[in-house]
Amino acid sequence: MSKVYHALMLNLHQPPGNLQRLLKESEWEAREILWALDRMPRALWKYEDVARVHLSLSGTLLETLRDPAFQASSFGIAKLGDLLWHLQNRKIFNILGTGHYHPVLALIPEADRLEQLERWQGIARHLFWRTDFQGFWPPEMGFCMELIPMLKQLGYRYVLVDSHHVEPVGKMPWQEVRYRPHIARHGGQEIIVVVRDRELSDAQLSGMNADWFLNEVWERTKCCNFPALVLTATDGDNGGWFRNTDEKSNFWHACYCPLLERFRRGQSEVEPVFIEDYLDRFGAHGEVTVRSGAWNTGWHHGTGFLQWTGSNAQRQALERIHEFSGVLHKTAALARHDPACRDLEEARWRLLRAQTSCNLFWGENWVHRIHDDLNDAHPFLEALKQNAPPPAPPQ
C-alpha cells in the first residue's frame, strides 16, 4: 500500500434571502447555520500546519454574508466580516469555483452557464482577494461533459465529480478509478477530474469517528500501488452533525480534529492535502468519461437529475426557464443597448436567480419561486423589446 492522501471538501450554500427569512421566522435554525460557518476557522486555527479544507461557497451565500444589513441583524450571533476574513487563510482553506446562484448547470440553458460562473468569480475575487481558483465544484455535483470547454475557458484546472458516474476509457481497477485523478476530454478540451468517494462521503455527512474513517480508508486503498487520493465531499452547513453545538457531537471536534491530531503525532498514514498540491506532485493518470448526473441525496442516487426533474411542475418550470432565456438572449442581441442596458440586467439577474437548484429540488414547495422571478423579469424583457429593431424582411 502506498501513501494515502485525504482531500476534504465542504459545500456551503443558502438560497437568496433564506438566512434573512430564517432569522425572522426560525431564529434557532439561523443561529445553527451561522455557528456552523463560524465554527470552521475557529476549530482549525491551532491546526494550521496540517488542516487542509476545500470550500465551495455559493454566490448567494457570499452576498448574504457581506451584506451590511444582515451583518448588523446577525451581530451577537457571529461576526460575519471576521468570518470572511478568516476564510482567506490559504494555509487552511482552498476556495473552489462554483455557480453564483447555485444552479444545476447541466439543466439550465447553455447560454446562461457562463454568466453564472463569471458572476461567482466576480464576487469571490473581491471577497477573497485572489484570482487563482484552480478547482471547480459543480453545484449539486451536477456535471456533464459539455461543461469541460467552458471550465477550461475560465481557467479551471480540475473539477470534482461523483464516483457513481465515472467510467474508465479502457481497463482500470476500481481502486484506480476512484482514488486517482484522471483526464476527461470533450470538444477538443481536457480537464482533470477528481473523484468523490460516495460511501465515505455519506459517512462524513451522517457522522463518523476518526478510527472508523482511518480503518475504512485503509481497507479501501490497501491494494493501491500508487499514492491514493481519497476525496470526501458533503454539505458543510446542513444536518445535525455539522450544526451541533456540542463539541463531542459535531464533525470538527469529534472527527476531523482527531484525524489531524493522529497525523500530526505520526499515528496515521492518511495525510490531509490540497488537491492542487497532490496534482503538482503526482499528476493525473488515465482517461475517463463522466456520465451526466449529480451527487446522491437522501432519496435518490443522482442519475438523470431526477431530484430536479421528477414532477410535472419541475419540468414545466424548467421549460419556462429555457423559453424565457431564449427570448431574452435573442432580444438582447438586437436591442440598442444604451437605453436598454438597465432593462437587460434587471431581466437577466432574475432569470439567473430563478435557476437556483433549491427552487426545483423542493418541488411543489419552492417551484413557484421560479415563476415569481420570471414574472418579475417579464416587464424588463418587454421594455428591452421596445429597443430592439424589427426583424429584417426576408430577402
| Distance of alpha carbon 70 from alpha carbon 68, whole angstroms | 5
Grid cell listed for 30: 439561523
Domain boundaries, the chain: 4-290, 310-386
Query: DSSP letter at 311?
Result: S
Other residues' Cβ atoms within 10 Å of the Cβ of residue 318: 22
Of the candidates 202, 188, 117, the one whose C-alpha atom is nearest the C-alpha of residue 156 is: 117
pLDDT, position 35: 97
What 117-121 contacts at long range (C-beta under 8 Å, 24+ apart), as own/partner pairs, is 117/150, 117/154, 118/154, 119/59, 119/352, 120/58, 120/59, 121/97, 121/154
pLDDT of residue 334: 82
Q: How far apart are CA 318 and CA 324, in angstroms?
A: 10
CA distance 41 to 34: 12
- Kindly give the confidence (pLDDT) of every residue in the chain, 395 residues in length, as a single tens digit, with 9 standing for 90 and above: 578 999 999 999 999 999 999 999 999 999 999 999 999 999 999 999 999 999 999 999 999 999 999 999 999 999 999 999 999 999 999 999 999 999 999 999 999 999 999 999 999 999 999 988 999 999 999 999 999 999 999 999 999 999 999 999 999 999 999 999 999 999 999 999 999 999 999 999 989 999 999 999 999 999 999 999 999 999 999 888 999 998 888 999 999 999 999 999 999 999 999 999 999 999 999 999 999 999 887 666 768 888 899 899 999 999 999 999 999 999 988 876 565 688 999 999 999 999 999 999 887 789 999 999 999 999 999 999 887 766 656 66
Separation in Å, CA 370 to CA 101, 313, 324, 389 = 12, 11, 11, 29
What is d(CA 256, CA 258) in angstroms, rounded to the nearest whole number?
5
Please report where in the chains the cell 437568496 appears, as a residue.
Answer: 16
Calpha distance 44→40 (Å, rounded): 6
Strands 182-186 and 189-196: antiparallel
381, 327 Cβ separation under 8 angstroms: yes
Short-list 200, 210, 217, 214, CA closest to 258: 210
**The three three-digit cell numbers of residue 115, written as one number:** 454568466
CB neighbour class for 298 (10 Å; exposed up to 12, middle 13-18, buried from 19): exposed
CATH architecture of the region 4-290: Alpha-Beta Barrel (3.20)
Q: Is 135 helix (H, G, I), strand (E, B) or coil?
A: strand
Task: Name the grid cell of 125.
Answer: 475575487
Q: Which pLDDT value is given to residue 283?
A: 97
> Residues 303, 180, 159, 230: what is their CA dihedral angle, to the nearest 10 degrees?
80
- The answer to whether residues 288 and 168 touch, using CB atoms and an 8 Å cutoff, is yes
C-beta atoms surrounding 272 within 10 Å = 20
**Closest listed residue to residue 129, CA positions, set 70, 89, 102:** 89
**DSSP assignment, residue 389?**
P
